[in-house]
Structure 1
């Protein structure tokens, strides 16, 4: 189970890292032009960058506390926060009719729920 939790956390951290880098460093106009980036058209630059920073922090929080054995309780807390972020993403993409992205976000949500549940059971 421990190995499965590490793999799940690593995968989710990689997703968060890529999303965070993209939202933080790619201009909003370029994001809006990409498939699935339509949500950024009506969002402020600060909001998009804030989401990017939160995703970067999630990437760190999903791996580093357990790897360093410093406050490992932060891993399931971060995963729980990721669940909340994915609910918001699913609502946003659902309103835009982007149901494939809703399904992708639901997979990320389930992965995070596995991490939370695995750490609670341990």
Structure 2
């Protein structure tokens, strides 16, 4: 189970790092064709979301891998789960069911990591 948790952590970290880097570095106008929800938010807010996702991705791997403050790994997973709840709320408001479904999958994976790392497979 520990290995499976590491695999899920790596997949989540890769997805959130990619999305976070894109949102944190690209202008809002360039993101709009692929992420239409950015129209509803200011450019600094979109950048903030990107930074949060990037930090969450780092938090999923680095503390556990280095052994320095490993409790930050399930905390990062919890934070990313909360981020997905907020993202799903935005997609519900915009009537984008495919976005809600994608957020639900990421939410479930983040909750699984948080449960495993806070609970029976803690570091």
State the TM bucket, normalised to the shorter chain.
Answer: over 0.9
State the Cα distance separating 1:65 from its structure 2 match: 0.4
Structure 2 match to 1:115: 113
Superposed counterparts of 1:1-122, under 5 Å: 1-34=1-34, 37-119=35-117, 120-122=119-121
- Once residues 87 and 31 of structure 1 are traced to their aligned partners in structure 2, the CA distance between those partners, rounded to angstroms, is 21
State the Cα distance separating 1:59 from its structure 2 match: 1.0
May I ask how many residue pairs the two structures share in their alignment? 120
- Once residues 58 and 70 of structure 2 are traced to their aligned partners in structure 1, the CA distance between those partners, rounded to angstroms, is 12
- Once residues 50 and 88 of structure 1 are traced to their aligned partners in structure 2, the CA distance between those partners, rounded to angstroms, is 14
State the Cα distance separating 1:121 from its structure 2 match: 1.9
State the Cα distance separating 1:42 from its structure 2 match: 2.1
| TM-score, L = length of structure 2 | 0.94
Q: Which runs of 5+ in 1 are unaligned?
A: none
After TM superposition, which residue ranges in structure 1, 4 or more long, deviate above 4 angstroms?
Answer: none
Aligned CA RMSD, in angstroms, stands at: 0.8
Q: Deviations over 1:7-40 (max 9, x none)?
A: 0100000011011111011110111122xx1211
- Once residues 93 and 26 of structure 1 are traced to their aligned partners in structure 2, the CA distance between those partners, rounded to angstroms, is 21
